[in-house]
C-alpha cells in the first residue's frame, strides 16, 4: 500500500472489518434467534447506531480533524424512551472498540453518542470528509441477505478511497466452499481489490468485457428504491436475455467490480427522492478503479460536492467501459419513449 492514502486505507479497512463483525453478531443474536414481530426494525437500528459509533470512533482516533457525513444521528437516543436501546448500543460498540483499539477503558455513553453525532457534517465541495453508511441495505440485513458496511474518503468532492464490507457475500461466487464475507477496497489511481473479511487473500479486480449474452443487470430488491420496469425496458432494447440479479446494498457495485452482472442500473421511481452520497461514494471509486464507468442517466459524473445528497436524481448507471456506453444509449432511448408517451 504505497500511496498517499495508505494510512487512511488501513484504518478504514480495520474500521469496516470491526463494524462487520458487530453487525453479524447483531444479526445472530437479535434477528436470527429472537422471535421478532414482523416489521420490527429495532435490531437494524441497534446495528446501525452501534456500527456508526464504532467507525466514527476509530476514524476520530486516527484523524481527529476530519469531518464525517454519516447516515445516522443520535437524536432519538438522547430521550429517556431510548434508554434500553442506548444501553445495548453502548455495550455492542464498546465490545467492538476494545477489541480493535485495545483500549483499557470503555467509552462512556456520552462519548459514543457524540461519535454517532459527529456524522452530522453537511458535506460540500471543499476539503476532506468521510462518508459512513453503517448498514447499507437495511432490508437485506433483516432478511439475512446482502447488506454492506460502507466507508469512503472524499477530498475536494472527489472520492479518493472506498471500503465496503459485505459480511454475507460469497468470497467466490463459483466456489461456495470458500465461505462468505468480503471486504472491497479501492484507492483512486491505485486499483481495486477484494479481501476476505479477515483481511487475507488480496485479489485485484478488473471488470471483464461483456456481450449481450453475458450482460445482465444488477438492481435493487425493493421496487420502491429503483424502477424495475424501466430496467426491463432497457434490457429488451439491449436484447439482454439473462434475468436481472436483485441484491440489496452497495454489494451491487462490488459484484459488478468483480465481473458478476455487467451493469448496475438505478433509475428513480418517482420524483423527490435524492440519492445520498454515502450510498454511492465507495461504490463509485470501486467500480472506476476496476476499470468501469459510473454516471447518471445523462452520462454526467455523480457530483459528490453538493452536500449530503447527489442533488436532483437522474439515476445511476455503473458498468464496464464498453457496456456502459451501450447501456447509456439504451437508457436514453427508453427515456425518450417515456417522454413521447406523455
Ligand atoms: N425512494 C428511494 N429511492 C432510492 N433509494 C432509496 C429510497 N429510499 C431509501 N433509499 C436508499 O436506498 C438504500 C438501499 O438501496 P438498495 O439498492 O440496497 O435498495 S434495496 O434494499 O435493494 O431495495 C437505502 O440505504 P440504507 O438506508 O442504508 O439501507 C436508502 O438510503
Ligand atoms: Mg444506504
Ligand atoms: Mg444505512
Ligand atoms: Mg437508512
Angle at CA of residue 10, ends 279 and 20, nearest 5°: 50
Whether 110 and 57 have beta carbons less than 8 Å apart is answered as no
Consult the annotation and say whether 76 binds a ligand.
no
pLDDT at 2: 78
DSSP 32: I
What homologous superfamily is domain 6-204 in, according to CATH? Answer: Fructose-1,6-Bisphosphatase, subunit A, domain 1 (3.30.540.10)
pLDDT at 40: 65
Counting DSSP H helices and E strands in the chain, the numbers are 10, 12
Ligand 1 atom with the smallest distance to the CA of 276 is 31
Q: Of 15, 266, 274, which is closest to residue 149 (Cα–Cα)?
A: 15
Q: Give residues (CB < 6 A) around ligand 1.
A: 71, 133, 135-140, 220-222, 224-225, 248-249, 273, 276, 279
Whether 17 and 165 have beta carbons less than 8 Å apart is answered as yes
pLDDT (tens digit, 0 to 9) for every residue of the chain, 342 residues total?
579 999 999 999 999 999 999 999 999 987 776 545 556 667 778 999 999 999 999 999 999 999 999 999 998 888 887 788 899 999 999 999 998 776 667 899 999 999 999 999 999 999 999 999 999 999 999 999 999 999 999 999 999 999 999 999 999 999 999 999 999 999 999 999 999 999 889 999 999 998 888 899 999 999 999 999 999 999 999 999 999 999 999 999 999 999 998 899 999 998 899 999 999 999 999 999 999 999 999 999 999 999 999 999 999 999 999 999 999 999 999 999 988 876
Global pTM reads 0.96
pLDDT at 36: 54
pLDDT at 34: 58
Burial label, 4 (beta-carbon count in 10 A; 0-12, 13-18, 19+): middle
Phi, psi of 199 (to 5 degrees): 95, 10
pLDDT at 29: 85
**So what's the ipTM on this one?**
0.95
Protein residue closest via CA to atom 11 of ligand 1: 225
**Domain 217-341 belongs to what topology?**
D-Maltodextrin-Binding Protein; domain 2 (3.40.190)
* Residue of 23, 45, 131, 138 marked active site: 138
pLDDT at 103: 65
Consult the annotation and say whether 133 binds a ligand.
yes
Domain spans of the chain, in order of start = 6-204, 217-341
Q: Of 324, 55, 304, 285, which is closest to residue 193 (Cα–Cα)?
A: 285
pLDDT at 79: 81
Tell me whether residue 48 is one of the annotated catalytic residues: yes
Q: Of 299, 332, 290, 327, which is closest to residue 215 (Cα–Cα)?
A: 327
Amino acid at each position: 500500500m504505497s500511496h498517499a492514502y495508505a494510512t487512511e486505507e488501513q484504518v478504514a479497512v480495520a474500521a469496516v472489518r470491526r463494524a462487520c463483525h458487530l453487525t453479524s453478531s447483531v444479526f445472530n443474536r437479535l434477528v436470527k434467534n429472537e422471535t421478532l414481530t414482523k416489521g420490527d426494525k429495532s435490531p437494524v437500528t441497534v446495528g446501525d447506531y452501534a456500527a456508526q459509533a464504532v467507525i466514527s470512533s476509530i476514524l476520530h482516533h486516527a484523524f481527529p480533524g476530519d469531518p464525517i457525513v454519516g447516515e445516522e444521528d443520535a437524536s432519538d437516543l438522547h430521550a429517556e424512551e431510548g434508554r434500553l436501546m442506548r444501553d445495548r448500543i453502548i455495550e455492542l460498540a464498546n465490545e467492538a472498540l476494545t477489541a480493535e483499539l485495545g483500549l483499557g477503558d470503555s467509552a462512556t455513553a456520552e462519548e459514543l453518542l457524540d461519535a454517532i453525532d459527529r456524522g452530522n457534517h453537511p458535506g460540500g465541495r471543499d476539503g476532506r470528509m468521510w462518508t459512513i453508511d453503517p448498514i447499507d441495505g437495511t432490508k437485506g440485513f433483516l432478511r439475512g441477505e446482502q447488506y454492506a458496511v460502507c466507508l469512503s474518503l472524499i477530498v475536494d468532492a472527489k472520492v479518493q478511497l472506498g471500503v465496503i464490507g459485505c459480511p454475507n457475500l460469497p468470497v467466490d461466487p463459483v466456489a461456495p466452499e470458500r465461505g462468505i464475507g468480503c471486504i472491497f477496497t479501492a484507492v483512486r489511481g491505485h486499483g481495486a481489490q477484494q479481501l476476505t473479511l479477515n483481511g487475507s487473500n488480496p485479489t485485484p479486480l478488473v471488470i471483464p468485457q461483456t456481450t449481450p449474452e453475458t450482460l445482465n443487470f444488477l438492481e435493487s430488491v425493493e421496487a420502491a428504491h429503483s424502477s424495475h420496469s424501466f430496467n426491463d425496458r432497457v434490457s429488451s432494447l439491449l436484447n439482454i436475455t439473462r434475468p436481472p440479479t436483485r441484491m440489496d446494498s452497495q454489494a451491487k457495485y462490488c459484484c459488478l467490480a468483480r465481473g458478476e452482472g455487467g451493469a448496475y442500473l438505478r433509475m428513480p421511481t418517482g420524483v423527490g427522492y435524492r440519492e445520498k452520497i454515502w450510498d454511492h461514494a465507495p461504490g463509485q471509486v470501486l467500480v472506476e478503479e476496476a476499470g468501469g464507468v459510473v454516471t447518471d442517466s445523462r452520462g454526467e459524473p455523480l457530483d459528490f460536492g453538493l452536500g449530503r445528497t447527489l442533488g436532483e436524481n437522474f439515476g445511476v448507471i455503473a458498468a464496464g467501459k464498453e457496456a456502459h456506453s451501450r447501456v447509456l444509449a439504451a437508457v436514453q432511448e427508453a427515456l425518450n419513449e417515456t417522454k413521447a408517451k406523455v
